[in-house]
Amino acid sequence: MLTRIFIFAMVAMLAVGCSRERELADVNAVYYWRTDLRLDSTERAFLQQHHIKKVYCRYFDVVMGDDGEPKPNATMTFSDTLPDGIDMVPTVYITEDCMHKPHKGLAEKLVKRILQMNETNDIRGVSEIQIDCDYTARSRQTYYDFLTAVANSCDTPVAGGQSPSASRSTPRFSLLSATIRLHQLQMPAPPVDYGVLMVYNTGDPRRFMERNPVLDLRDVKPYLRHLSGYALPLAAAYPVYQWVRHIHGVRVEHTVDADDILRVKQAVEHERPALRQTILTYHLDKENINRYDTKTYEEIYRH
């Protein structure tokens, strides 16, 4: 049950150089961050045109309730299905305050809820889940313990509807991944199979007149030195969304120019070439697709 976590701990301590370049397979992927899975023709065409093989789909959030205990929020509904040949990766966002102290049974409840959603919506063949949390030095250890509990719960065999021998040998999920923000590169790697480096939301929103808070190479550069030695296989996710805010009654739009995305991508891959292998964009949406031309997406996804 703890075998995978032990292996990755040993890799981090004893084989950093090997693990850095081993990394992940070549995969084009995308996040889906809406509350209803419903794809229009533009979005379906995008998945096909850019050979998307994985959709990391936000199933629900976990937020702190009024009673001081974490609870699910903004649960996904499924009005549609993914095209054949594309893997679904259930993704759960957990607010950082949920990790200020341990919560008994939280990991087991989270995995059970994902399983129930898959069963209810006839979603099959799911082999991986991802956890997204903006953990800090204060919450890191509790969060890492929580991830270990999630991994243990994922390794619990599937029960019901199978022969006893199959039930003993078939895990619920075989992979556990986690998001990694740039500031988290300075901490020890979490106990997961791999991380997705979130190369967006890099700046201070209060300094929007000076730099784009969604993505600016000047904000990324200080963290690049941590990439080559980070002891966890990594994918990279880049922003294609627009952030709209109203500041003192004035509408402010934060959109990243295509050239800026590609400059950051080049800088990131220069420090860690394997980050060109598994690439995501955030997130799948018709407006985001139309914001950039096809050539830009080809450059982002190019391996």
Query: Residue 146 sits in which domain range?
Result: 3-301
With 0-12 / 13-18 / 19 or more C-beta atoms within 10 angstroms meaning exposed / middle / buried, residue 206 is: exposed
Counting every residue written for the chain, the total comes to 303
Domain count, the chain: 1
The pTM assigned to this predicted structure is 0.90
Please tell me whether residue 193 adopts helix, strand or coil conformation.
coil
Token representation of residue 224: 């690049």
Helix, strand, coil percent content, the chain, rounded in steps of 5: 40, 25, 35
Contact 77, 38 (CB under 8 A): no
With 0-12 / 13-18 / 19 or more C-beta atoms within 10 angstroms meaning exposed / middle / buried, residue 131 is: buried
- The per-residue b/e assignment along 141-178, b for 16 or more CB within 10 angstroms, e otherwise, is ebbbebbbbbbbbbbeeeeeeeeeeeeeeebbbebbbb
Query: What stretches of the chain adopt beta strand conformation (E)?
Result: 27-32, 36-37, 52-64, 70-73, 77-78, 87-94, 128-132, 175-181, 194-198, 234-239, 242-247, 250-255, 278-282
| Segments of the chain with pLDDT less than 50 | 1-3, 5-21, 160-169
Contact 192, 214 (CB under 8 A): no
pLDDT at 6: 44
Token representation of residue 69: 């205990």
What stretch of H or E contains 49?
helix 41-49
pLDDT at 164: 39
Which DSSP state fits 190? P
- Direct distance between the N- and C-terminal alpha carbons of the chain, in angstroms, rounded to an integer: 35
Mean pLDDT taken over the chain: 90
pLDDT in tens, 210-266: 899 999 999 999 999 999 999 999 999 999 999 988 888 888 889 999 999 999 999
pLDDT in tens, 45-65: 999 999 999 999 999 999 999
pLDDT at 7: 45
Can you give the CATH number for the domain in which 159 is found? 3.20.20.80
Helices and strands, counts by H and E, the chain: 10, 13
pLDDT at 136: 98
Residue 9 has phi, psi (to 5 degrees) of: -65, -40
pLDDT at 22: 58
